[in-house]
């Protein structure tokens, strides 16, 4: 029985080693990630147009939807009409100021003539006092008119700010895709009522994927920023290789993530590392992969 038991163990080990190739282990294990962006509505209303489908690749700044802006346009037109009415009041006040300005100019000319006449004893000091008093009254009247116009100007500025706010809302009713990427999920359909902050779709740039792996402290000396490494994924009965570049190394240790199941490994401290890999279309978010360090790389 003991001999039979030993034979079974030997066969099992032989099978395991043959399946493991040369027995080498990868330097890191992890899963692919991508920066996912959730695009949300920035206005309230009905989705009049929404051209987004899961799996589609969208270019940056592409218009993918429009939210109904009729009510906003009506509010803007109403504010514009109010602004024009207030402007007419301001024009009346300013026209009064222009009349006073002309009267002041005439009075100042008369003042200069009286001064010259006094030098020739052809006018009296009382005439000069009268014209000086008239000039002072005109100046006070002009200040009063300008004071009347100040609240009107401020009111117009307030309305202009409201118009700008409405125009900003109208602009945000046009849904523009923020980044180039692939649509991962779609949360709305045309003709639905949406609201500010409601998610519309999720997008991510899948051209460059990031593999997050975890390495031990003893491996830190063998890896650095910008280093070229090899990344492998399962491909039928073999492994498919990609070239990757180390883009980030954590500066603090953490407990081994739950994806590593053995009790011995769960109590170890590891460092997270991100590897940038160009996607040929085969790499997916969440896909497991291995990292292999070539110690000959500089």
**In this structure, which topology does domain 23-36+205-292 adopt according to CATH?**
Elongation Factor Tu (Ef-tu); domain 3 (2.40.30)
DSSP code string of 91-138: HHHHHHHHHHHHHHHHHHHHHHHHHHHHHTT-S-HHHHHHHHHHHHHH
Phi, psi angle pair for 29, to nearest 5°: -125, 145
User: How many Å is the maximal CA-CA distance in the chain?
Assistant: 149
Domain ranges of the chain: 23-36+205-292, 40-69+174-199, 70-171
Give the burial string for 188-215 (b: 16+ CB within 10 Å, else e).
beeeeebeeeeebbbbbbbeebbbbbbb
What CATH number does domain 40-69+174-199 carry, 1.10.3720.10, 2.60.120.380, 3.30.70.600, 2.40.50.100?
A: 2.40.50.100
Q: Give the global pTM.
A: 0.66
The rounded distance, in Å, linking the Cα atoms of 131 and 104 is: 10
Please list the pLDDT of the chain residue by residue as tens digits (298 residues): 333 333 333 333 333 333 333 346 888 899 999 999 999 999 999 999 999 999 999 999 999 999 999 999 999 999 999 988 887 777 777 777 777 788 888 888 888 888 888 888 888 888 888 888 888 888 888 877 777 777 877 888 899 999 999 999 999 999 999 999 999 999 999 999 999 999 999 999 999 999 999 988 888 888 999 999 999 999 888 899 999 999 999 988 877 665 555 555 555 678 899 999 999 999 999 999 999 987 654 4
What kind of fold does domain 70-171 have according to CATH? Answer: Helix Hairpins (1.10.287)
Helix, strand, coil abundance in the chain, percent, nearest 5: 40, 30, 30
């Amino acid at each position: 029985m003991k001999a039979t038991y030993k034979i079974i163990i030997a066969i099992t080990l032989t099978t395991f080693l043959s399946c493991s190739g040369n027995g080498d282990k990868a330097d890191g294990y992890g899963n692919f990630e991508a920066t996912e962006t959730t695009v949300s509505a920035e206005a309230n209303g009905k989705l009049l147009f929404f051209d987004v489908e899961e799996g589609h690749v969208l270019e940056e700044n592409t218009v993918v939807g429009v939210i109904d802006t009729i009510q906003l346009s009506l509010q803007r037109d109403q504010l514009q009409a109010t602004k024009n009415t207030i402007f007419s009041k301001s024009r009346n006040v300013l026209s009064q100021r222009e009349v006073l300005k002309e009267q002041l100019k005439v009075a100042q000319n008369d003042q200069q003539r009286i001064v010259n006449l006094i030098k020739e004893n052809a006018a009296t000091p009382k005439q000069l006092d009268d014209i000086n008093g008239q000039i002072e009254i005109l100046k006070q009247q002009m200040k009063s008119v300008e004071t009347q116009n100040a609240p009107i100007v401020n009111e117009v500025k307030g309305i202009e700010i409201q118009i700008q706010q409405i125009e900003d809302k109208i602009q945000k009713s046009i849904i523009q895709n923020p980044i180039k990427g692939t649509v991962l999920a779609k949360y709305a359909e045309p003709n639905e009522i949406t609201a500010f902050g409601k998610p519309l779709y999720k997008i991510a740039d899948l051209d460059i994927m990031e593999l997050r792996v975890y390495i031990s402290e003893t491996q830190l000396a063998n890896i650095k920023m910008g280093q070229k490494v090899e990344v492998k994924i399962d491909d039928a009965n073999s492994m498919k290789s990609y070239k990757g570049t180390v883009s980030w190394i954590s500066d603090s240790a953490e407990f081994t993530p739950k994806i590593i199941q053995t009790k011995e490994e769960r109590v170890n401290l590891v460092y997270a590392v991100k590897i940038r890999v160009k996607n040929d279309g085969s790499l997916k978010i969440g896909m497991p992969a291995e990292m292999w360090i070539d110690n000959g790389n500089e």
